[in-house]
Amino acid sequence: MTGVFNGLRDGNTEGGDPKIPMIITTRSGQRFDSNQDLTAGERHVLQKLFLWESMASSLQEFREKKRAALSKGWNNSGPVEQSEALKKIILDLEAKVALRLKGS
């Protein structure tokens, strides 16, 4: 998955300019615009999962972190329902975690 990360920059603590989307491209070539294809809660979950993609010591740990993030929601606002776009992005992240762990 590649993309332009629209994270914190220039002292902006609001998470970046909402006019500049983060485009997420899966390994299969599917492209998702974070502003159009994901809810705010889904984007928050995804930010956590991007971190766990490189830190999880097992696929099970990554899936546990995914379940926790989805159940807690944004600022403990409650469960986040997964759209089809988020499901596809998460499946791609899981595959990347598995590949990373296989290579180590």
Task: Convert the pLDDT of each residue in 60-85 to its tens digit.
Answer: 999 999 999 999 988 888 899 999 99
**Does the pLDDT at position 12 exceed 80?**
no
Q: Report CA dihedral (28, 30, 34, 37) to the nearest 10 degrees.
A: -130
pLDDT band at 2 (very low <50, low <70, confident <90, very high): very low
**Does the pLDDT at position 22 exceed 90?**
no
- Asked whether 62 and 53 are in contact (CB, 8 A), the reply is yes
Q: Report CA dihedral (64, 85, 33, 42) to the nearest 10 degrees.
A: -40
Query: According to the model, what pLDDT value does residue 5 have?
Result: 41
pLDDT over 90 percentage in the chain: 71
Q: So where are the chain's domains?
A: 2-103
